[in-house]
Amino acid sequence: MTFKTVLAAAGLLLASVATHADVALLMRPDVQRYIDEQVASGELTRAELETVFANVEPKPNIIAIMDKPSTARPWYQFRPNFYSDKLMQEGVTFWQQNEATLQRAAETYRVAPEIIVAIIGIETRYGRNTGSFRLADALTTLAFDYPRRADFFRAELTEFFRLARSENVNALSLKGSYAGAMGLPQFMPSSYRKWAVDFDGDGHKDIWNNPVDAIGSVANYFREHGWLGGDDVVIPAELAPGTVPDELAADKFNLHYTVAELKARGVLPQAPVRDDALAVLVPLEVAPGVTRYWLGLNNFYTITRYNKSTLYAMVAHELSQEMRARFLQARMAASQGSVN
Protein backbone atom coordinates (compact mmCIF):
# COMPACT_ATOMS: atom_id res chain seq x y z
CA MET A 1 0.00 0.00 0.00
CA THR A 2 1.43 3.38 -0.96
CA PHE A 3 1.46 6.39 1.30
CA LYS A 4 -1.05 8.12 -0.97
CA THR A 5 -3.39 5.16 -0.62
CA VAL A 6 -3.09 5.48 3.14
CA LEU A 7 -3.84 9.17 2.87
CA ALA A 8 -6.99 8.36 0.93
CA ALA A 9 -8.24 6.30 3.85
CA ALA A 10 -10.10 7.79 6.81
CA GLY A 11 -8.24 10.31 8.96
CA LEU A 12 -7.12 9.62 12.50
CA LEU A 13 -10.16 7.51 13.43
CA LEU A 14 -10.28 3.83 12.53
CA ALA A 15 -13.58 2.62 13.96
CA SER A 16 -15.56 3.22 17.10
CA VAL A 17 -15.67 -0.47 17.91
CA ALA A 18 -12.53 -2.12 19.25
CA THR A 19 -11.83 -5.51 17.77
CA HIS A 20 -8.65 -7.26 18.94
CA ALA A 21 -7.55 -4.59 21.39
CA ASP A 22 -7.30 -4.52 25.15
CA VAL A 23 -10.22 -2.16 25.88
CA ALA A 24 -9.19 -2.05 29.55
CA LEU A 25 -6.23 0.09 28.50
CA LEU A 26 -8.56 2.98 27.77
CA MET A 27 -9.93 2.90 31.31
CA ARG A 28 -6.55 3.06 33.05
CA PRO A 29 -6.18 6.21 35.18
CA ASP A 30 -2.82 7.09 33.65
CA VAL A 31 -4.23 6.81 30.13
CA GLN A 32 -7.23 8.91 31.08
CA ARG A 33 -4.93 11.57 32.58
CA TYR A 34 -2.91 11.59 29.37
CA ILE A 35 -6.08 12.03 27.31
CA ASP A 36 -7.20 14.89 29.55
CA GLU A 37 -3.84 16.62 29.11
CA GLN A 38 -3.92 16.30 25.34
CA VAL A 39 -7.50 17.52 25.08
CA ALA A 40 -6.59 20.51 27.26
CA SER A 41 -3.78 21.37 24.82
CA GLY A 42 -6.39 21.98 22.15
CA GLU A 43 -4.53 20.01 19.46
CA LEU A 44 -6.36 16.67 19.77
CA THR A 45 -9.93 15.72 20.59
CA ARG A 46 -11.14 13.23 23.16
CA ALA A 47 -12.97 11.26 20.48
CA GLU A 48 -9.79 10.88 18.40
CA LEU A 49 -7.71 9.71 21.32
CA GLU A 50 -10.28 7.38 22.83
CA THR A 51 -10.89 5.73 19.48
CA VAL A 52 -7.19 4.97 19.07
CA PHE A 53 -6.63 3.77 22.64
CA ALA A 54 -9.73 1.55 22.43
CA ASN A 55 -8.11 -0.19 19.46
CA VAL A 56 -4.53 -0.36 20.71
CA GLU A 57 -3.03 -3.78 21.40
CA PRO A 58 -0.34 -3.57 24.13
CA LYS A 59 2.87 -5.41 23.20
CA PRO A 60 4.64 -6.53 26.41
CA ASN A 61 7.35 -8.32 24.41
CA ILE A 62 8.65 -4.91 23.38
CA ILE A 63 9.82 -4.23 26.92
CA ALA A 64 12.20 -7.20 26.85
CA ILE A 65 13.57 -6.12 23.47
CA MET A 66 14.22 -2.60 24.72
CA ASP A 67 16.46 -3.85 27.51
CA LYS A 68 18.75 -5.73 25.10
CA PRO A 69 20.16 -3.14 22.67
CA SER A 70 22.41 -4.46 19.89
CA THR A 71 24.99 -1.76 20.60
CA ALA A 72 25.76 -3.37 23.97
CA ARG A 73 28.13 -5.73 22.15
CA PRO A 74 31.84 -4.97 21.62
CA TRP A 75 32.94 -3.46 18.32
CA TYR A 76 34.41 -6.67 16.90
CA GLN A 77 31.01 -8.36 17.30
CA PHE A 78 28.88 -5.37 16.26
CA ARG A 79 30.73 -4.44 13.06
CA PRO A 80 30.19 -7.64 10.99
CA ASN A 81 26.42 -7.28 11.22
CA PHE A 82 26.58 -4.16 9.05
CA TYR A 83 29.95 -4.04 7.33
CA SER A 84 29.16 -6.67 4.72
CA ASP A 85 29.54 -7.03 0.96
CA LYS A 86 25.79 -7.51 0.59
CA LEU A 87 24.87 -4.26 2.32
CA MET A 88 27.59 -2.35 0.49
CA GLN A 89 26.42 -3.60 -2.89
CA GLU A 90 22.84 -2.73 -1.99
CA GLY A 91 24.08 0.71 -1.05
CA VAL A 92 25.78 1.19 -4.40
CA THR A 93 22.59 0.11 -6.18
CA PHE A 94 20.50 2.53 -4.09
CA TRP A 95 22.98 5.31 -4.86
CA GLN A 96 22.83 4.57 -8.58
CA GLN A 97 19.03 4.53 -8.55
CA ASN A 98 18.83 7.82 -6.65
CA GLU A 99 21.96 9.59 -7.84
CA ALA A 100 20.22 12.79 -8.94
CA THR A 101 18.33 13.08 -5.65
CA LEU A 102 21.46 12.43 -3.58
CA GLN A 103 23.35 15.04 -5.54
CA ARG A 104 20.56 17.57 -5.02
CA ALA A 105 20.52 16.78 -1.30
CA ALA A 106 24.29 17.26 -1.14
CA GLU A 107 24.00 20.65 -2.86
CA THR A 108 21.00 21.75 -0.78
CA TYR A 109 22.16 20.61 2.65
CA ARG A 110 25.94 20.19 2.18
CA VAL A 111 25.80 16.63 3.48
CA ALA A 112 27.85 13.92 1.76
CA PRO A 113 25.76 11.45 -0.29
CA GLU A 114 27.67 8.51 1.11
CA ILE A 115 26.63 9.13 4.72
CA ILE A 116 22.98 9.41 3.66
CA VAL A 117 23.24 6.11 1.77
CA ALA A 118 24.98 4.40 4.69
CA ILE A 119 22.41 5.57 7.24
CA ILE A 120 19.40 4.37 5.24
CA GLY A 121 21.15 1.05 4.65
CA ILE A 122 21.93 0.50 8.32
CA GLU A 123 18.47 1.53 9.43
CA THR A 124 16.23 -0.43 7.07
CA ARG A 125 18.25 -2.12 4.31
CA TYR A 126 16.88 0.51 1.93
CA GLY A 127 13.29 0.04 2.97
CA ARG A 128 13.19 -3.74 3.19
CA ASN A 129 12.92 -3.74 6.97
CA THR A 130 11.03 -0.70 8.21
CA GLY A 131 9.29 -2.52 11.07
CA SER A 132 6.12 -4.55 11.45
CA PHE A 133 4.71 -3.09 14.68
CA ARG A 134 1.73 -0.79 14.59
CA LEU A 135 3.22 2.43 15.87
CA ALA A 136 0.21 3.17 18.04
CA ASP A 137 0.71 -0.20 19.78
CA ALA A 138 4.47 0.19 20.23
CA LEU A 139 4.46 3.78 21.45
CA THR A 140 1.50 3.24 23.79
CA THR A 141 3.19 0.20 25.33
CA LEU A 142 6.39 2.14 25.95
CA ALA A 143 4.60 5.28 27.10
CA PHE A 144 2.58 3.53 29.81
CA ASP A 145 4.39 0.26 30.63
CA TYR A 146 8.08 1.16 30.43
CA PRO A 147 8.70 3.39 33.49
CA ARG A 148 12.41 3.83 32.84
CA ARG A 149 11.71 5.98 29.76
CA ALA A 150 8.00 6.69 30.07
CA ASP A 151 8.35 10.46 29.82
CA PHE A 152 10.30 10.20 26.58
CA PHE A 153 7.85 7.83 24.96
CA ARG A 154 4.78 9.74 26.09
CA ALA A 155 6.24 12.77 24.36
CA GLU A 156 6.86 10.66 21.24
CA LEU A 157 3.32 9.29 21.40
CA THR A 158 2.00 12.86 21.48
CA GLU A 159 4.15 13.78 18.48
CA PHE A 160 2.86 10.68 16.70
CA PHE A 161 -0.77 11.70 17.20
CA ARG A 162 -0.01 15.17 15.91
CA LEU A 163 1.87 13.72 12.94
CA ALA A 164 -1.12 11.55 12.05
CA ARG A 165 -3.44 14.53 12.23
CA SER A 166 -1.21 16.90 10.24
CA GLU A 167 -0.66 14.33 7.48
CA ASN A 168 -4.31 13.18 7.58
CA VAL A 169 -3.22 9.59 8.19
CA ASN A 170 -5.01 6.84 10.09
CA ALA A 171 -2.95 6.53 13.28
CA LEU A 172 -3.71 2.82 13.53
CA SER A 173 -2.46 2.12 10.02
CA LEU A 174 1.14 3.27 10.36
CA LYS A 175 3.84 0.71 11.13
CA GLY A 176 7.42 0.94 12.31
CA SER A 177 9.95 -0.48 14.74
CA TYR A 178 9.36 -1.81 18.23
CA ALA A 179 10.71 1.51 19.56
CA GLY A 180 8.43 3.66 17.42
CA ALA A 181 10.88 4.57 14.64
CA MET A 182 9.39 5.10 11.20
CA GLY A 183 10.12 4.77 7.52
CA LEU A 184 13.31 4.27 5.51
CA PRO A 185 15.40 6.48 7.84
CA GLN A 186 13.66 5.30 11.04
CA PHE A 187 12.79 8.72 12.37
CA MET A 188 11.07 8.94 15.71
CA PRO A 189 7.83 10.98 15.56
CA SER A 190 9.49 14.06 17.05
CA SER A 191 12.31 13.85 14.50
CA TYR A 192 9.77 13.50 11.72
CA ARG A 193 7.89 16.56 12.93
CA LYS A 194 11.06 18.64 13.19
CA TRP A 195 13.24 17.47 10.32
CA ALA A 196 11.36 15.39 7.74
CA VAL A 197 11.01 17.26 4.43
CA ASP A 198 8.84 17.02 1.34
CA PHE A 199 11.85 16.79 -0.96
CA ASP A 200 9.88 15.96 -4.12
CA GLY A 201 7.30 18.70 -3.56
CA ASP A 202 4.17 16.53 -3.74
CA GLY A 203 2.71 17.95 -0.54
CA HIS A 204 3.53 14.99 1.72
CA LYS A 205 6.58 14.09 3.79
CA ASP A 206 6.50 10.38 2.92
CA ILE A 207 9.50 8.70 4.51
CA TRP A 208 7.75 5.30 4.38
CA ASN A 209 7.63 4.70 0.65
CA ASN A 210 9.35 7.62 -1.05
CA PRO A 211 13.16 7.48 -1.16
CA VAL A 212 13.29 11.09 -2.38
CA ASP A 213 11.68 12.36 0.83
CA ALA A 214 13.76 9.93 2.91
CA ILE A 215 17.02 11.16 1.38
CA GLY A 216 16.09 14.81 1.82
CA SER A 217 14.98 14.19 5.40
CA VAL A 218 18.23 12.48 6.42
CA ALA A 219 20.25 15.25 4.80
CA ASN A 220 18.21 17.90 6.58
CA TYR A 221 18.61 16.08 9.91
CA PHE A 222 22.38 15.99 9.52
CA ARG A 223 22.62 19.64 8.50
CA GLU A 224 20.47 20.74 11.43
CA HIS A 225 22.67 18.73 13.80
CA GLY A 226 25.88 20.38 12.65
CA TRP A 227 27.33 18.32 9.80
CA LEU A 228 30.27 20.16 8.24
CA GLY A 229 30.58 19.47 4.54
CA GLY A 230 34.06 18.33 3.52
CA ASP A 231 35.32 17.74 7.08
CA ASP A 232 36.73 14.46 8.38
CA VAL A 233 34.69 12.18 10.62
CA VAL A 234 37.38 10.32 12.54
CA ILE A 235 41.15 9.98 12.52
CA PRO A 236 43.23 7.23 14.14
CA ALA A 237 45.05 7.99 17.37
CA GLU A 238 47.53 6.42 19.74
CA LEU A 239 48.10 7.00 23.44
CA ALA A 240 51.37 8.12 24.94
CA PRO A 241 52.70 5.95 27.78
CA GLY A 242 50.94 6.73 31.03
CA THR A 243 47.82 8.19 29.40
CA VAL A 244 44.59 7.31 31.23
CA PRO A 245 41.93 7.01 28.52
CA ASP A 246 38.90 6.23 30.67
CA GLU A 247 38.39 9.78 31.88
CA LEU A 248 38.81 11.25 28.40
CA ALA A 249 36.35 8.78 26.85
CA ALA A 250 33.80 8.81 29.69
CA ASP A 251 31.55 11.49 28.21
CA LYS A 252 31.70 10.06 24.72
CA PHE A 253 28.68 11.89 23.34
CA ASN A 254 29.95 15.42 23.88
CA LEU A 255 32.82 17.46 22.51
CA HIS A 256 34.55 18.85 25.58
CA TYR A 257 38.14 18.96 24.34
CA THR A 258 40.10 20.49 21.50
CA VAL A 259 42.67 18.37 19.72
CA ALA A 260 45.37 20.48 21.38
CA GLU A 261 43.98 19.68 24.83
CA LEU A 262 43.84 15.98 24.02
CA LYS A 263 47.40 16.06 22.76
CA ALA A 264 48.48 17.64 26.06
CA ARG A 265 46.87 14.71 27.86
CA GLY A 266 48.67 12.09 25.80
CA VAL A 267 46.38 11.46 22.82
CA LEU A 268 48.47 11.45 19.66
CA PRO A 269 46.61 11.97 16.34
CA GLN A 270 47.90 9.76 13.53
CA ALA A 271 46.71 12.04 10.73
CA PRO A 272 46.72 15.81 10.15
CA VAL A 273 44.06 17.66 12.15
CA ARG A 274 43.64 21.24 13.36
CA ASP A 275 44.63 21.86 16.98
CA ASP A 276 41.50 23.91 17.55
CA ALA A 277 39.14 21.21 16.24
CA LEU A 278 36.82 19.73 18.85
CA ALA A 279 37.18 16.00 19.31
CA VAL A 280 36.28 13.05 21.49
CA LEU A 281 38.41 10.00 22.25
CA VAL A 282 36.80 6.87 20.83
CA PRO A 283 38.06 3.52 22.17
CA LEU A 284 36.88 0.40 20.32
CA GLU A 285 37.59 -3.21 21.22
CA VAL A 286 38.75 -4.53 17.84
CA ALA A 287 39.42 -8.04 19.17
CA PRO A 288 38.95 -9.67 22.58
CA GLY A 289 41.11 -7.66 24.99
CA VAL A 290 42.53 -5.43 22.22
CA THR A 291 41.49 -1.75 22.16
CA ARG A 292 42.35 0.80 19.51
CA TYR A 293 41.67 4.52 19.60
CA TRP A 294 40.31 7.19 17.28
CA LEU A 295 39.52 10.85 17.54
CA GLY A 296 35.90 11.49 16.69
CA LEU A 297 35.51 14.96 15.20
CA ASN A 298 32.45 17.18 14.73
CA ASN A 299 30.90 14.98 12.03
CA PHE A 300 31.34 11.88 14.19
CA TYR A 301 29.47 13.70 16.94
CA THR A 302 26.73 14.56 14.44
CA ILE A 303 26.25 10.89 13.58
CA THR A 304 25.80 10.13 17.29
CA ARG A 305 22.93 12.63 17.30
CA TYR A 306 21.18 10.28 14.87
CA ASN A 307 21.89 7.22 17.01
CA LYS A 308 23.53 7.64 20.39
CA SER A 309 26.18 4.97 19.91
CA THR A 310 29.84 5.28 19.05
CA LEU A 311 29.64 1.80 17.46
CA TYR A 312 26.85 3.00 15.18
CA ALA A 313 28.74 6.17 14.27
CA MET A 314 31.91 4.28 13.41
CA VAL A 315 30.20 1.64 11.28
CA ALA A 316 28.18 4.32 9.48
CA HIS A 317 31.41 6.14 8.66
CA GLU A 318 33.24 3.02 7.50
CA LEU A 319 30.30 1.92 5.36
CA SER A 320 29.98 5.36 3.82
CA GLN A 321 33.63 5.37 2.76
CA GLU A 322 33.52 1.90 1.25
CA MET A 323 30.21 2.58 -0.52
CA ARG A 324 31.64 5.75 -2.02
CA ALA A 325 34.70 3.91 -3.28
CA ARG A 326 32.56 1.16 -4.82
CA PHE A 327 30.14 3.64 -6.36
CA LEU A 328 32.97 5.54 -8.04
CA GLN A 329 34.54 2.28 -9.23
CA ALA A 330 31.25 1.19 -10.76
CA ARG A 331 30.84 4.55 -12.46
CA MET A 332 34.36 4.37 -13.87
CA ALA A 333 33.81 0.82 -15.11
CA ALA A 334 30.57 1.84 -16.79
CA SER A 335 32.28 4.83 -18.40
CA GLN A 336 35.10 2.71 -19.74
CA GLY A 337 32.62 0.14 -21.04
CA SER A 338 30.69 2.79 -22.97
CA VAL A 339 33.92 4.09 -24.54
CA ASN A 340 34.94 0.60 -25.63
Tell me: do 151 and 285 sit in the same domain.
no
Element containing residue 293 per DSSP (H, E): strand 290-296
Q: Please, is 113 exposed, middle or buried when counting C-beta atoms within 10 Å of its C-beta (0-12, 13-18, 19+)? A: buried
Decide: 337 and 329 in contact? Cβ < 8 Å.
no
Which residues on adjacent β-strands are paired with residue 280?
Answer: 296
Is there a domain that residue 36 lies in?
A: yes
Q: Give residue 272's domain range.
A: 234-296
CATH number, domain of 140, equals 1.10.8.350
CA angle 305, 125, 307 (to 5 degrees): 10
* Total number of domains constituting the chain: 2
3-state SS assignment for residue 134: strand
Decide: 319 and 121 in contact? Cβ < 8 Å.
yes
Residues whose CB is less than 8 angstroms from the CB of residue 173 and which lie 6 or more positions away in sequence, other chains included: 6, 9, 14, 134
> Could you read off the pLDDT tens digit of each residue along the chain, which spans 340 residues?
444 433 333 343 333 334 444 578 999 999 999 999 999 999 899 999 999 999 999 999 999 888 876 657 899 999 999 999 999 999 999 999 999 999 999 999 999 999 999 999 999 999 999 999 999 999 999 999 999 999 999 999 999 999 999 888 999 999 999 999 999 999 999 999 999 999 999 999 999 999 999 999 999 999 999 999 999 999 999 999 988 888 888 888 889 999 999 999 999 999 999 999 999 999 999 999 999 999 999 999 999 999 999 999 999 999 999 999 999 999 998 888 766 6
Decide: 250 and 276 in contact? Cβ < 8 Å.
no
Given 120, 149, 182, the domain boundary residue is 182
Rounded CA gap, 278 and 269, in Å?
13
Q: Catalytic residue among 57, 114, 123, 167, which?
A: 123
Tell me: do 147 and 25 sit in the same domain.
yes
Rounded CA gap, 43 and 325, in Å?
48
Rounded CA gap, 272 and 297, in Å?
12
Rounded CA gap, 295 and 102, in Å?
28
Is there a domain that residue 107 lies in?
A: no
Rounded CA gap, 51 and 180, in Å?
20
Tell me: do 20 and 164 sit in the same domain.
yes
Tell me: do 146 and 281 sit in the same domain.
no
Is there a domain that residue 314 lies in?
A: no
Query: Is 167 a catalytic site residue?
Result: no
Tell me: do 56 and 165 sit in the same domain.
yes
Rounded CA gap, 258 and 279, in Å?
6
Tell me: do 11 and 155 sit in the same domain.
yes
pTM, two decimals, is 0.89
Produce one character per residue of 21-31: b if its CB has 16 or more CB atoms within 10 Å, e if not. bbeebbeeeeb
3-state SS assignment for residue 225: coil
Is there a domain that residue 283 lies in?
A: yes
Tell me: do 45 and 150 sit in the same domain.
yes
